[in-house]
Structure 1
Amino acid sequence: MKKRILSLFVLIVLSSCASKKEILYMQDAIEQNNSEVNYESANIQPNDILKITVESTIPEAAIPYNKSRAIGAQPQNLQVLQLDGYLVSVDNTIKFPVLGEISTANKTTKALEAEIKDRLISGGHLLDPTVNVRLINAKVTILGEVNKPGTYSFTEQNITILQALGYAGDLTINGKRDDILITREVDGVRKISHIDLTSASFMNSEFYFIKPNDNIIVSPNNPKVKSAGFVGNVGTILTIASLALSVTILLTR
């Protein structure tokens, strides 16, 4: 009887443990050594907020083409910039001073810069303008088995899925590293992908670089699911097993 109780105890503990293979990231990372990195700019999407600045060799001439911007103005915080930015409509357009409505459909920020510059020159507005377009409300939502789930803003043009998970404090020990779910909306089409972080092959995926408004969901691994569905956690299992063993010893004396 004692042997059966001990055997059951061992099986419960083992079933509650994750293996080394399930926990380690990029176990074949050496295969990606010296591989080429393909940077990709995201297309502008509805509800994006853009900061657009126009400069000219004659600063005063560029004033009408800038929103609430005075020469020599002090830097503003991000929230103020967002309130003063250009909100992309659901029709993929923005309303630009003097030039009127401009389409952002299927355009990156660089492509929009080129179009605005071309309009300013071809329309005789400015001779040699400099146009800068920045996305200022980029964010990623990270949920599930991470230490700090939530929605995180970023200002870089390219961040990786590893950087995004770093914002959330990394996966917990119970996170399922070989099946990270990513959802993405691009030009009105929803894309869903599963990423295996235990293999470095995900670095060649189109989902390696995070795009604005991506959602990352980390599911619990099998030991976590089993313990949650059975008695709660490993501590509870150990307590129950200890009590069962004590009772068995008392009854068999």
Structure 2
Amino acid sequence: MMKIKYIVLSIVVLAIISDSCVSRRKITYLQRSGKADESIISSPGLLTSVTPAEYKIMPNDYLFIRVITPDPQWSALFNMQTGEAGVTQESAALSSYPVGLDGSIEIPYVGKVPVAGKNLSEIKNDLETVFKNYVSDAAITVRLVDNNVSIIGEVNVPGRYPISKDRMTIFEALAMAGDISTYSDRQRIQLIRPSPHGPVVNEFSLADRSVLHSEYYYVMPNDVIYALPMRGRTFHLNTAVYTIFLTTISTALVIISYFRTL
């Protein structure tokens, strides 16, 4: 009986140890991967040479457009009302132009303007050319309204977060979500990126320094970052239950053994 008790206790101890131990290599970002990696890190200015791809407008996007002219009447004619409190994300959404399935927006008194497949700078230049037919010296502001990134999976605070700067790295995005959890597989991060032909799923590793100069280093509007769990995550979730169960059995065996010795 005592032998059984010690076996059960050993199993409990091993279960607790296995639950608390996660390899340091599995939770470390940006590890060296060899000589190629050393040349990447030793090259000065390499990170600044990484140019993120500019987001191209697609159907179902929403654009906030403001036209400012010397004549307030012309400005009021072309601008949707946003209220006296200024332009917030909510008011911009209410006063934005939806991009239709044909890839264009429709502006009152102007008509349809094609925007799909263009970045914000190109759209601004096109609109300045269009508005010259109506008023001179027009200043145009163009902004993407739905400029967010969604972060799901094994992160501490999953959710939808605004991209508050022109160049936001994937590490900055994950920081908004409270970082990846201990049981996330840093070698298997999925990024779901919209394209004109549908969502594209890319998988890469944050444990490798080569991500610093990859196309996934900078997030883009409407990206979805999915942190996959480690393969042993289900076992870790159930270890507490197993531990309680085995501890109960062990305690029962100790009590039975005690009364048998009386």
Per the normalisation by structure 1, the TM-score is: 0.82
- What SS does the corresponding residue of 2:194 show, helix, strand or coil? strand
- The answer to whether 1:236 aligns with 2:247 is no
Amino acid in the other structure paired with 2:193: R
Same amino acid, percent of matched pairs: 25
Amino acid in the other structure paired with 1:160: T
In structure 1, the partner of 2:108 is: 97
Asked if the contact 1:161–1:208 (Cα under 8 Å) also holds between the matched residues in 2, the reply is yes
Distance 1:240 1:219 in 2: 29
Asked if the contact 2:146–2:222 (Cα under 8 Å) also holds between the matched residues in 1, the reply is no
In structure 1, the partner of 2:62 is: 49
Distance 1:82 1:9 in 2: 56
Deviation at 1:156, TM superposition (A): 2.8
- The answer to whether 1:112 aligns with 2:123 is yes
Matches within 5 A, 1:11-50: 11-13=14-16, 15-16=18-19, 17-28=21-32, 31-32=40-41, 34-35=45-46, 36-50=49-63
Deviation at 1:200, TM superposition (A): 2.1
Per the normalisation by structure 2, the TM-score is: 0.80
Deviation at 1:242, TM superposition (A): 4.1
Structure 1: state its 5+ residue gaps: none
Amino acid in the other structure paired with 1:43: K
- The answer to whether 1:128 aligns with 2:141 is no
- The answer to whether 1:68 aligns with 2:64 is no
Aligned residues between the structures: 245
Asked if the contact 1:183–1:215 (Cα under 8 Å) also holds between the matched residues in 2, the reply is yes
Distance 1:41 1:126 in 2: 30
- The answer to whether 1:205 aligns with 2:245 is no
Q: Say what the alpha-carbon RMSD is for the aligned residues.
A: 2.8
Distance 1:191 1:151 in 2: 19
Alpha-carbon deviations, 1:16-38, whole Å to 9, x = none? Answer: 33200011122239744632231
In structure 1, the partner of 2:230 is: 221
Distance 1:25 1:237 in 2: 31
Amino acid in the other structure paired with 2:125: A
